[in-house]
């Protein structure tokens, strides 16, 4: 708990827009103290001024370990510790086919969606182990479970790698550190600027029929951060869709 409030202390990466910003607003309404990390300091400062809760703004790049270490240091210095760390930052890509994905494209997707989260995990885990508790949440994508949008193939692959790292960490911690909760967040299409910001451009995700609002996604994450299933699908049908995809693969002969 924070030294400045009765709520938990939560670090959110990629907090200047989209799911990260919505989660910051949702958790602020639940009296959390927040440490917000993103490259766009101005947007973080503007948001922090409206949240009505203790906020530490940390400008930084999640692909640099030193920036993530600084976020942890600032959290400990101001609030005394971290209760939850959300690796939310990520980036998409649009390529017409798997054949069109270059090695450089894949390197960028792994750097921004997998390696960055790995660095976040490695930075906060010693802190959680010292405390014997904590919540580590990695924001993935439904495309990591059901990779049915071929123009997002490299992104889907990077998020699938993130899933595997997350699940491996759960097994690793389960016996010796049962107080550390490892959550995998699996949203579907979200009404954010994700599509517009994808490398190579792409459709505005806010115009895709049925896109889930960032506010709804944030509520689901906030509700499930500290309790409930560790695979957190932001839509109720998400798990059945993933299981159906696996069952379909098992029935295929070629």
Flag whether 15 is in a domain: yes
CB 74 within 8 A of CB 81: no
Kindly name the residue from 85, 128, 155, 194 that is annotated as catalytic. Answer: 155
Residue at 1 is within a domain: no
On whether residue 30 sits in a domain, the answer given is: yes
Beta bridge partners of 56: 35
Radius of gyration of the chain (CA): 18
Q: What is the CATH number of the domain that holds 172?
A: 3.40.50.720
Please check whether residue 210 lies inside any domain of the structure: yes
Whether residue 4 is contained in a domain is answered as no
244: part of which helix (H) or strand (E)? Answer: helix 238-251
Q: Which one, of 120, 216, 204, 98, lies nearest residue 165 by Cα? A: 120
DSSP string, 23-40: HHHHHHTTT-EEEEEES-
155 is known as an active-site residue = yes
Task: Show the beta-strand stretches assigned E in 124-204.
Answer: 134-139, 180-186, 190-191
3 falls within a domain: no
Residue 203 lies in a domain: yes
**129 sits in which H/E element:** helix 116-131
Residue 95: inside a domain, yes or no? yes
Number of domains in the chain: 1
Q: Bridge-partner residues for 87, per DSSP?
A: 138
Find the largest Cα–Cα distance for the chain: 59
Question: pLDDT of the chain along its 254 residues, tens only?
Answer: 666 657 999 999 999 999 999 999 999 999 999 999 999 899 999 999 999 999 999 999 999 999 999 999 999 999 999 999 999 999 999 999 999 999 999 999 999 999 999 999 999 999 999 999 999 999 999 999 999 999 999 999 999 999 999 999 999 999 999 999 999 999 999 988 888 888 888 777 787 888 899 999 999 999 999 999 999 999 999 889 999 998 888 777 65
Condensed to tens digits (0 to 9), the pLDDT of residues 202-216 reads 777 787 888 899 999
pLDDT for residue 1: 63
**CA dist., res. 153 & res. 151, Å (int):** 6
Domain that holds residue 174: 9-251
Q: Cβ(116)–Cβ(43) under 8 Å?
A: no
User: How much is the mean pLDDT over the chain?
Assistant: 94
Residue 184 φ then ψ, to 5°:
-110, 115
């Amino acid at each position: 708990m924070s030294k400045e409030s009765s709520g938990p202390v939560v670090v959110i990466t990629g907090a200047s827009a989209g799911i990260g910003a919505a989660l910051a607003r949702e958790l602020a309404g639940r009296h959390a103290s927040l440490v917000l990390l993103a490259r766009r300091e101005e947007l973080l400062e503007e948001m922090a001024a409206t949240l009505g809760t203790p906020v530490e703004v940390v400008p930084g790049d999640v692909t640099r370990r030193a920036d993530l270490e600084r976020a942890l240091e600032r959290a400990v210095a101001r609030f005394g510790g971290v209760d939850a760390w959300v690796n939310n930052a990520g980036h998409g890509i649009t390529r017409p086919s798997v054949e069109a994905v270059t090695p450089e494209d894949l390197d960028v997707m792994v750097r921004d969606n997998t390696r960055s989260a790995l660095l976040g995990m490695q930075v906060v885990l010693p802190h959680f182990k010292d405390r014997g508790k904590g919540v580590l949440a990695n924001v993935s994508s439904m495309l990591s479970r059901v990779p049915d949008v071929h123009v997002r193939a490299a992104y889907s692959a990077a998020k699938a790698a993130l899933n595997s790292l997350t699940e491996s960490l759960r097994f690793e911690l389960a016996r010796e550190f049962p107080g550390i909760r490892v959550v995998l967040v699996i949203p579907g299409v979200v009404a954010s600027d994700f599509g517009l910001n994808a490398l190579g451009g792409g459709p505005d995700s806010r115009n895709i029929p049925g896109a889930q609002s960032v506010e709804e996604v944030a509520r689901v994450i906030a509700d499930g951060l500290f309790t409930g299933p560790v695979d957190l699908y932001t839509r109720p049908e998400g798990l059945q869709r993933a299981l159906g995809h696996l069952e379909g693969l098992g029935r295929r002969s070629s």
